[in-house]
Structure 1
Amino acid sequence: MQSDLIKLNQEGTPLFDLLKTICQKEIYSFHALPISSFGHSDILPFCGKEDVFLESTITDEAFDNFFFPKGVIRESQKLTAQIYNADRSFYITGGTSVANQIAITALYDKEDEILIDKNCHQSVHFHSHSQALGANVDYLCPDLIAEDGQLTAWSIEKLTNKVLSKQSEEAGYDLIILTAQSYEGLIYDIPAVLLHLLKAGVKTRKFFIDEAWGSLNYFSDDTRPYTVMNIDSIIEEYPNLEVVCTQSAHKSLFCLRQASLIHCKGGKELPYKIEVAKFRIHTTSPNYAILASLDLAQAYMRQYGNEMASYSRALVNTFKEEINSEPELALLHAESEVFQDHWHIHHDPTKVMLNVTSLGDSSVIKDKLLRENIFVKRILSNHLLLSFHIGINKEAVGALTRALVLISQPSVINRDIKINSISKTFIIPYPPGVPIVFPGDKINAEITQKIKQYEDSGMLVISA
């Protein structure tokens, strides 16, 4: 029996085996999921990764009701609401796609007219168009474009005119759905946007904001003013306002994948509407390990949130200083300001767009970094997007810099190789160390293409 089990583990579990291998590798992720990053936090005494793999057959009766909690879940959610300045907060264990469905369902009334930011996550669009909702949907299309069309945003003029134009023709939009922050780190000043709309005479009083990437923004003075729940003064002036936001907590906090948060402000009945929508949509078998990780995450952020947010920004500066001090990386530069001429758009300082034009194609550089155990998820035509989340430490920054230096070496070594020139040196890919060009050979297009192929495959190509 024991030998059969061993055989099963070796040959019958391909998914498990690959996941175990990946988890055991020392991979530094400059994407998301801080809890999965290799290495220990430079701030936290421990990250709690091992503590949250908890599960029990004992649920509601001896624990708490997940949907209408009155015990420990409600107590923990209350602590979370305090640090996010929300009236109420809710834990979701099915990911932010489910959280978005719950938020929209809670705010939506039959026959409502909805305006949706076209850059919203797919889950917003799917649910709004679903038969279960059957909403009348209109779209806010981006009118600001940068980086070869890969970065887009909407102007405040476009949004305001769109909403007021609808009001002049009909009753207007009952619900407006916007994205607070893009994958690339563009942050809309949501409180200022809401106030601008209301002062302009917009009658809409229900707003849903997808703040998936914005959990950490609440813990630093340079981004806190732009956060969705920073609307106390607006609620005082417009008490019939209802604002709900969702956060993909696992992207920014030390919690497990699919851990998500819903926050709300305004409207006495709004929290109950969210609980009912949660009861209708969420699985009746919530993941208690994810719940526990959300509880740990709020405790970490309560005690260390400001410090970790500050440290993430310090590591960004450290990285910029390191690439500036490396001669091989002299042509690299970190770009952080896009659409800076628009007052309602800002940039997340923990997101770095690294221009890698001098090293080659960004998709090739991404693959080369992965071979050096550096994971980058998002690329643009000439850029890598690096997320310095709270799981990044000094060790990860050092590893990234060393990997970029290593990748740059072939390009630096061969910078004098020009097509149709006569080579004065041997040109040798290593391994295997066999010259492909000898002194006196003409370097034609075929040779330069071969050199590029060797470099793209990760080989060191030496001119000696």
Structure 2
Amino acid sequence: MADAVLAAARRDIASFHALPLSHGRSIRDSRIRESYESLFGAAQLAADVSYSGTMLDSFFRPRGPLREAQRLAARGFGADATYFLSTGTSTANRVALTALTRPGGRVLADRSCHQSVHFALGGLGVEVVYAPMQRCCADCPRTFGDLPRLLETFREAVAEGRPYDTVVLSAVSYDGVRYDLPTVLAELAAAHPGVRVLVDEAWGAVHRFHPRLRPLTALHAVERLRRTASAPPLTVAVTHSAHKSMSALRQGSYLHLAGEGEARERVAQALFQHHTTSPSWPVLASLDLARLQAETEGEQLLERSLHLAQTLRTELGTDPRLSAYRTLGAEGHLTDPALLVSDDPTRVLVDIGALGITAAEFRRVLFDEYALYVARESGDAVLFHLHIGVDEATLLRLLDALRTIQRTCRTTSAALTPGASDHFIIAYPPGIPIAVPGERVCDRTLGEIDALRSDGCEIYTLHQPGVSTAAVPVPSGPPVSAAVPGVSALPAVPAVPAGRK
């Protein structure tokens, strides 16, 4: 697929159909050309084409390079059939559910599923029952499906003569929780062999390609079931957001199917019903390349990810310069096999509450001051995903940033403690000190800091040991809120928001 798209891009093909931007033709003499090429490059503009049928391939009835790419992907992932999508896994989930369910059928759904599953089920004319969720523990904010209760509910429905036709599982969560799919699928098949299952593994597409991660994946679990003496006629659809863990372009998604005959035909029909008729050929080509890389380099890259994730945990647990951070999850919260869940070892959930700033402020500082991005926050915790795009140098950047933020925030917190101060505390604008070394910081001072930051000011502190001024007490005022923002301006240290607990 990738070779076919590249070959088309290298030809100087003039289109009388659509996509005037292809090859940059519509912007050749435009003032926006430089911006376009700076953002996307000439190669991307040339590869974004609008050819179909025999000119490149038919998306809905592929016979050429797309068909071969999908065949190779099915072989690599262990599926009976694989479909490429260029509109994301939300579409893949809708396609899968349309194919698996029947009007009037019964669906048992994991409550923790992505919104796309909930929205799709609402329009399919099925009876939906949600299995409950559970929280990891009081110390960890993660939630996930209560799988023992889900299986109990499923078995009870079978015993009552009203089995669920379809089960939906969210098996690799955003927060790094993985389901024991070999056990869950075996239990479902034993109770009702004809059950159809959708497994949303959006965050775990690459797990297939490492021996430590592979055993819990859905398609590997199906392979194990098929090797048993009485292999059940189980139909399983698996959706993967390739761009979340593999080297694929955004919106690139795989839909894998373990099932024959009618199941394949229904998936093809549902794909035609829900996918755009203008697929992105660069996205589809990236799915082909991502599969090739995963097959040839995936184990090595994932081994690096696992090592770096463990390095991050070790550094946070042993370096006194990182003592304000506490890892959650991977240190033993999900070790009870009865829960049928375990941790994704490529993710590190970190409590940053001891810094005295909120998780949202912490994420903003990482992004603005250090060009480091984390997406997930939950309470006082943030989630670091050590995916295959994170290398040793990137982890060192993160660790350096964490040390600097800890040093800065703790200095700021000390400056904003009631009592005699040895800091300048300055609001900018206007740049006039709220307090100077030797003055007392009291509730009224802290209330003024609260009010200034609410008005958009940044608060800076500067430690000046040895500076002596007359200590002029400021009369006490009313109590202030628990979170006092501030920014510490230590020499050669970027300013970061700070708070007081």
Does the pair score TM above 0.5?
A: yes
Q: Structure 2 counterpart of 1:340, which letter?
A: T
Q: Deviations over 1:225-272 (max 9, x none)?
A: 100001213134334110111011111111111100011113343223
Cα pair 2:415 2:423 within 8 Å, conserved: no
In the alignment, is the contact (CA less than 8 A) between 1:207 and 1:242 conserved in 2?
yes
Instruction: Name the CA distance, whole Å, in 2 between partners of 1:414 and 1:322.
Output: 23
Hey, what does 1:68 align to over in structure 2? 61
Once the two structures are TM-superposed, the CA of residue 322 in structure 1 deviates from its matched residue by 4.3
In structure 1, C-alpha distance between the alignment counterparts of 2:317 and 2:112, rounded to whole Å: 34
- 1:459 deviates by 5.9
Name the aligned partner's letter for residue 363 of structure 1: A
- Alignment-mate amino acid for residue 397 of structure 1: L
State the SS of the aligned residue for 2:156: helix
Question: Which of 362, 366, 370 is the matching residue for 1:369?
Answer: 366
Q: Is the CA contact 2:426–2:435 (under 8 Å) kept in the aligned structure 1?
A: no
What is the alpha-carbon distance in structure 1 between the residues aligned to residue 65 and residue 419 of structure 2? 74
Separation in structure 2 between the aligned mates of residue 64 and residue 320 of structure 1, nearest angstrom: 47
The aligned amino acid for 2:383 is: L
Q: Deviations over 1:366-401 (max 9, x none)?
A: 111111211111101111111111111223212222
Give the equivalent residue in structure 2 for 1:40.
none
2:263 is matched with: 270
Matched, 1:295 2:293: no
After superposition, the Cα gap between the structure-2 partners of 1:263 and 1:136, relative to the gap in structure 1 and judged at 3 Å, is same
Cα separation, 1, equivalents of 2:170 and 2:46 = 32
CA change 1:354–1:50 in 2 (3 A) is farther
Q: Distance in 2 between matches of 1:52 and 1:300?
A: 24
The offset of 1:355, in angstroms, is 1.2
Match of 1:151 in 2: 142
Q: 2:165 — aligned with what?
A: 174
Partner of residue 136, structure 1: 127
- Provide closer, same or farther for how the CA distance between residues 175 and 64 of structure 1 changes in structure 2, counting only shifts above 3 A: same
- Which residue is 1:441 aligned to? 439
1:152 CA drift (Å)? 1.7
Between the two proteins, the alignment pairs up a number of residues equal to 426
Residue 339 (structure 1) aligns with: 334
The equivalent residue for 1:348 is 344
Residue aligned with 1:111, SS: coil
Q: Distance in 2 between the 1:205 and 1:398 partners?
A: 48
Q: Compared with structure 1, are the counterparts of its residues 329 and 246 closer, same or farther at alpha carbon in structure 2 (3 Å cutoff)?
A: same
Deviation, 1:345, is 0.5
Give a deviation string over 1:3-40, Cα, whole Å, max 9, x none. x954x789xxxxx89x97xx79xxxxxxxxxxxxxxxx
Check the 8 A contact 1:430/1:462 in 2, yes or no.
no
Unaligned runs of at least 5 residues, structure 2: 1-26, 465-501
Q: Residue 255 of structure 2 aligns to a residue in which SS?
A: strand
Counterpart Cα distance in 1 of 2:398 and 2:361: 16
Which AA in structure 1 matches 2:130? Answer: Y
Report the AA paired with residue 235 of structure 1.
R
Higher relative contact order (CA 8 A, sep 6+): 1
2:205 matched to which residue of 1? 215
User: Identity over aligned residues, as a percent?
Assistant: 30
Gap change, CA 1:447 and 1:107, over 3 Å in 2: same
Name the residue aligned to 1:226. 216
**Partner SS state of residue 284, structure 1:** coil
The answer to whether residue 244 in structure 2 is matched with residue 247 in structure 1 is no
Counterpart position of 1:462: 462
* 2:112 matched residue in structure 1: 119
Q: Report the equivalent of 2:387.
A: 389
The one-letter amino acid paired with 2:100 is L
Structure 2: which amino acid aligns with 1:398?
A: L
Deviation at 1:53, TM superposition (A): 6.6
Instruction: Return the alpha-carbon distance in structure 2 between the equivalents of residues 415 and 186 of structure 1.
Output: 34
* Aligned residue type for 1:139: Y
Instruction: Decide whether the 8 Å contact of 2:425 with 2:436 is kept in 1.
Output: no
Q: Which moved more, 1:134-143 or 1:293-302?
A: 134-143
CA shift in 2, pair 1:122/1:420, >3 Å: closer
TM-score under structure 1 length normalisation: 0.83
Check conservation: 1:52, 1:292, Cα contact below 8 A: no
Q: How far is the alpha carbon of 1:50 from its aligned partner? A: 6.1
User: For the Cα contact (< 8 Å) 2:101–2:166, is it kept in 1?
Assistant: yes
Structure 1: runs of 5+ lacking an equivalent: 11-15, 25-47
In the alignment, what sits opposite 1:38?
none
Distance in structure 1 (CA, Å) of the matches to 2:209 and 2:257: 18
TM-score, structure 2 as length reference: 0.77
Query: Would you say the 8 A contact 2:135–2:141 is kept in 1?
Result: no
Which AA in structure 1 matches 2:440? Answer: K
| Farther off after superposition, 437-446 or 374-383 | 437-446
Amino acid of the structure 1 residue aligned with 2:380:
N
Change in CA separation of 1:53 and 1:157 when aligned onto 2, cut-off 3 Å: farther
Post-superposition offset of 1:147: 5.5
Task: Report the alpha carbon displacement of residue 216 of structure 1 after superposing the two structures with TM.
Answer: 1.7
8 Å Cα contact 1:215-1:253 kept in structure 2: yes
Matches within 5 A, 1:417-456: 417=415, 419-423=417-421, 425-429=422-426, 435-448=433-446
1:71 CA drift (Å): 1.7
2:168 partner letter: I
Question: 1:89-129 CA deviation, whole Å, 9 max, x = no partner?
Answer: 11011111111111111112232111111111111111111
